[in-house]
A and B are shown apart, each in its own frame.
Chain A
Amino acid sequence: MLIEMQAIQVNQGNASILRDVNLSLDKGSIYGLIGPNGAGKTTTIAAALGLMPVSSGLVRVLGKDPWTQSRFVHARTGALPEQSGFYEWMSAEEYLAFFGNLYERPLTRGEIAHCLSQVALTPRPGQRISTFSRGMRQRLGLARALIPEPELIILDEPTNGLDPRGRRELHDILQELAADGIGVLLCTHLLDDVERLCDRIGVLVSGRTVVEGGLTDLLSANGLSQRFLIRLSAEAPPDEPHPHEASILTGNGGWRIVDIAAKAKPEEVWRKFYALGWPLVEIKRENTGLEALYLALTEGGTA
């Protein structure tokens, strides 16, 4: 287990910031931590990073207490905080070289170039960070987080301010990292990102974990499915045969509504549709089962 949090409580003065937080993240898994504003997501991340002590409960990151053994944890963890500032007068190369030295991994020019290409960041030689766009800064922050070749990466709202292409590229990077066995803790408001990337989620409301587990398990346990809209180039096959994981509802304006079971992988279901002769020309994700779950769980819990 890369991260293990049980019954975490964090107090600041008389205020209870976290009351009962549970979180578990394994290797190669992408965990989505979601919740309304002020739920305690950033504090949870700070506790996981050893930036603040917990008042009670168990926190283990890479098997160690991140507060008392922060050096061990930090040497193996990459982090991209929500507000990641940079040294504007440096170039990207100088910035990565600086952090490479801090992480005791002095980077050669070639290694720096590799870090930058890993995150698809291509600044002009010597270009100052002060001239970087928001998307370039996010990529640079991710490159910094990857310097220690981490076992675990923690990201807080990493797609904020990114355009759709930037978001898609970041998603691809995170999926590659997970495929390489790196654990990813993703804190975000964007349910689309969670649905696309995460296999486990935790929903935080007012400092408490209200639900935690595998995404598809949670959706199907709550009777929720994945809803899509499909458009056909011709008539559907006679009797409309369809995979058992899907149910077809009537639509309008040339669109048909398809509900797919929460546990099913949509790509496999669409392959089955094609095999059955359905002339699919367009598929749109409609309802997010996660959205319904989230809204139900967080009703009244917004800060």
Chain B
Amino acid sequence: MKRFATICFLMLGVVALATPAFALRISIAPDHGNPASPQMGDRLRFHTAIQNDGHATQEGVLAWISLVETDSGKEQPVDLEDWSAHKAVVSAALLPGQTVETIWPMRLIKAGSYRVVVSAMSRNGETLTASPFVDFTVRQKPVVESSRIVPVALGAPLFIAGLLIWRLRENRARA
């Protein structure tokens, strides 16, 4: 029995040694200069450090930022098209113990509650690594209301065009 338990333990150890540990570790922190209560139009920055905790070099490391809206009933991923031009970073190789630090700038486009996370993977890895979440809330600010703009923007030229057409018709009738 003792012999059987020892053999099982040794086999587990071999398996453990053969399976690589989560090699990449990501930490994330908001920049000190970020506004405490950001509103639409403000800019935020997030700092990440991606460290290779494994024994082997991680080849072709790719890290990217994701944003999701977390307002109740409106949960959805956010297209970063207008929010940030800096969506991913690539490192050709990350040696064991080496760290890559990155700053992620972002412009706040829409009011709401959000969660940001940075994910990473390597070419020779087998799993995805994600940073902890950072939550923030963007306040609404009074901006131009489309409900006012659209009627005026369409109505005024249409009105003048109508006047013009009426005038032209009148001229033709009197010609």
Contacts and interface: CB of A to CB of B under 8 A. Distances in A.
Direct contact of A and B (CB under 8 A): yes
Interface of A: 91, 124-128, 130-131
B26 to A, nearest CB: 73
Contacts of A128: 171, 174-175
A130 B174 CA distance: 11
Interface string B11-31: 000000000000000000000
7 contacts: A91-B174, A124-B174, A126-B174, A128-B171, A130-B171, A131-B171, A131-B174
A125 B175 CA distance: 10
Nearest to A132: B175
Contacts of A130: 171
A130 B172 CA distance: 11
Nearest to B171: A128
Contacts of A126: 174
The 10 closest A-B pairs by CB, nearest first: A131-B175, A126-B174, A127-B174, A128-B171, A128-B174, A124-B174, A127-B175, A128-B175, A130-B171, A131-B174
B125 to A, nearest CB: 78
Nearest to B170: A126
Nearest to B175: A131
Given A124-B174, A126-B174, A131-B171, 10 more contacts: A91-B174, A125-B174, A127-B174, A127-B175, A128-B171, A128-B174, A128-B175, A130-B171, A131-B174, A131-B175
A127 B174 CA distance: 5
A91 B171 CA distance: 10
B167 to A, nearest CB: 9
Contacts of A124: 174
Nearest to A128: B171
Contacts of B171: 128, 130-131
A124 B175 CA distance: 8
A124 to B, nearest CB: 6
A161 B170 CA distance: 28
Contacts of A131: 171, 174-175
Contacts of A127: 174-175
A183 B171 CA distance: 38
Contacts of A125: 174
Nearest to A131: B175
Contacts of B174: 91, 124-128, 131
B174 to A, nearest CB: 5
Nearest to B167: A89
Nearest to A88: B171
A128 B172 CA distance: 9
A12 B33 CA distance: 74
B101 to A, nearest CB: 71
A124 B171 CA distance: 12
Contacts of B175: 127-128, 131
B117 to A, nearest CB: 67
